[in-house]
Amino acid sequence: MGVAIFAVLLSGALYALGLIGDIYGGQADQKEYNSGGFDFSYTGTLYKGKLMGEGEIVFGNGDSYKGEFFEGRFNRIGTFFSAEGWRYWGIFSYGSLTGEGTRVSGEGVLHRANYDFLRVSQGKQPVFISADGWIYTGDFNDWGQTGIGSFIFADLTFYEGEFYRGMAHGSGRYLAAGGSTIYEGQFKAGYFDGEGTYSSPDGRFTYTGEFSVGYFHGLGEYADIDGNSYVGYFEYGLPEGMGRLISSNGWTYEGEFKGGYFNGQGEYADIDGNSYAGSFVDGLPEGEGHFEGSEGWVYEGEFKGGYFNGEGTLTLATGRTYTGTWEDGALIQ
């Protein structure tokens, strides 16, 4: 848990540049502009206030492009140089790497392929098919997938629901390749985030409750096929705060947790009739507590590491008492 089911799926146009304002037509020669939030220098053709035709552009961040433009987007044939070291030459469509092209990584590795391309269904809904094997169908704008859509991964897992800027964001479902639902609920920036229900792909456990960046976080309910269950608060995947744990072995604990362990005040009882109420540290009685054994004896006093340690009184089932200082379960004085 804690890993987004995907990061940005489609970046949309590499750059989306609108009106540049000061020249409505003609030629620009290394003219400085700002459009769409980008600073850049442009040499080439302008038409109706936008980059059109042949041109060359250098961005303030070091990216550059040389080739054809249409309404401020890289279009048809061109070469893009990334400030991160890679470059691509081939076909562009309205700002995106589209169709046949060649990409060279920063390490000089050559990769020639059909890059992601767009087709429009009969209902005019965009469908993106990737050479890497994934398919997206749904709403799309300059920032990538935004709106309602569905995404089929190369491993045939599937997401359907709301998107924002190329990531699952809002209400949605994430399904296994066979169609069973892994998660249904709220997403934020690609993560399970908000209210939702998660079922492990192997079918061993379910969780219903609050999530944050992919983790169980907040109030929730957990149950597995072995019979273990927990109701209470979580922090980044672990019980934290008040909760109630029921073990498949029959024992129960209700009280405070920290880091997934009994920590703080709580009450424990097992199937044999033993019970403890008091303070815990890292899953063991520590501090002041009250222990009742299944044979009828009672100890009240101090614990450490799960043993009687410190001042305390042991009362046997016969009524006989032992009071004094204890060390690792033995009376020393």
Geometric angle at alpha carbon 292, from 278 and 245, rounded to 5°: 55
- The gap from C-alpha 284 to its chain's centroid, in whole angstroms, comes to 33
Q: Model pTM?
A: 0.66
The pLDDT of residue 31: 79
Tens-digit pLDDT string for the chain (333 aa): 443 433 333 333 455 555 555 445 677 777 787 776 778 888 888 887 788 889 998 988 888 889 888 888 888 788 888 887 777 777 777 777 665 566 665 555 444 444 444 443 434 566 666 656 677 888 877 667 888 988 888 788 899 999 988 889 999 999 988 888 899 999 998 999 999 999 998 999 999 999 999 999 999 999 999 999 999 999 999 999 999 999 999 999 999 999 999 999 999 999 999 999 999 999 999 999 999 999 999 999 999 999 999 999 999 999 999 999 999 999 998
The pLDDT of residue 117: 43
The pLDDT of residue 24: 55
Q: Which fold has domain 235-331?
A: 2.20.110
The pLDDT of residue 173: 95
Asked if 270 contacts 251 with a C-beta cutoff of 8 angstroms, the reply is yes
Sign of CA dihedral 89, 95, 98, 103: positive
The pLDDT of residue 116: 45
Rounded CA-CA distance 87/60 in Å is 17
| Domain boundaries along the sequence of the chain | 235-331
The pLDDT of residue 160: 93
The pLDDT of residue 111: 46
Question: In sequence order, which residues have a C-beta less than 8 Å from that of residue 317 and are 6 or more positions away?
Answer: 295, 296, 297
